[in-house]
Amino acid sequence: MIGAKSFSYHATIPVNIVLILWVWIGRALFGSGGWWMVIFLVSVTPAMIVLLTITSILAIRQRQPASIGFLTNGQFWCLVTMWLSLLLFGFFVVDFGDTKESISSAFSQVVGASAVDISNALSLIFFVAAIAAYVGLLIALIIAQDGRIERKSRQHQTLSDPMGWAPGPPVPPDWDAHR
C-alpha cells in the first residue's frame, strides 16, 4: 500500500493534467464531440485547473514522511476515487451538436447509440462521485496541514534541544543561595 500511496503522490500532477484534458476533449478520441467541448473549455476546465492545483499544493505542503507513503490512507482513497470518477465521467458524458445524430458519448460510440440514456445517467453519477471525493480529499489535506505544523514544531524543538526538554526561564545567578 505504501508503494501505491507514494506512486499516487508523485503522479498527482501528471495524472491531473491528463484528466483535465480527458474530461475536456477525451471523448473526441472515440469520435464523439460537440458543444460540451466548447462549454467545458470556459467552465469545467478552468475550474478543474484551479481545484486540482489547490489539492496538489496542499499535498506537497503537508510533507508526510516517505515511510508512510506521503499520503494518509484517507487522502489516498479520496484521490484514487476522484481520479476514477473523473476518468469515467469523461467516458460517459454525453456531448451534443446541432443535429440529433450528433448526440453521443465515448461509451455510446463503443456500445451503440441506444446507450446514450445510460451514459447520461452514469456521467451524472460519476460527476457527483468526483465532487464528493474531491471534497473529502480537500478536507483531509486541510486537516493534515495542522499535523504539518505540529511536526514542524516538534522538529524545531528536537533540533534546539535533543533531550526533548522544553526550554525554561533562565536560572537566577544566586539560585543556590536560598537554601
Q: pLDDT tens digits, residue range 38-92?
A: 999 999 999 999 999 999 999 888 866 666 668 889 999 999 999 999 999 999 9
Give me the DSSP letters along 50-114. Answer: HHHHHHHHHHHHH---GGGTSS-HHHHHHHHHHHHHHHHHHHHPPB--SSGGG-B-HHHHHH-GG
How much of the chain is helix, strand and coil, in % rounded to 5? Answer: 75, 0, 25
Amino acid present at 63? R
| Ramachandran category for residue 63: left, alpha or beta (phi over 0 → left; psi -120 to 50 → alpha) | left
For residue 61, the model assigns a pLDDT of 86
**Above pLDDT 70, what percent of the chain?**
78
Closest C-alpha among 30, 51, 137, 50 to residue 93: 30
pLDDT confidence bin for 3, thresholds 50/70/90:
confident
Give exposure, 8-20, as e/b (b: 16+ Cβ within 10 Å). bbeebeebbeebb
Q: What pLDDT does 69 receive? A: 65
Residue 165 above 70 pLDDT?
no
Per-residue pLDDT, 134: 97
Q: In the numeric block, which cell numbers belong to residue 88?
A: 469515467
More confident residue, 178 or 101: 101
Q: What is the mean pLDDT of the chain?
A: 84
> What band does 152 get if pLDDT is binned at 50, 70 and 90?
low
Segments making up each domain of the chain, as ranges: 2-160
Of the candidates 36, 167, 53, 168, the residue with the CA atom closest to the CA atom of residue 103: 36
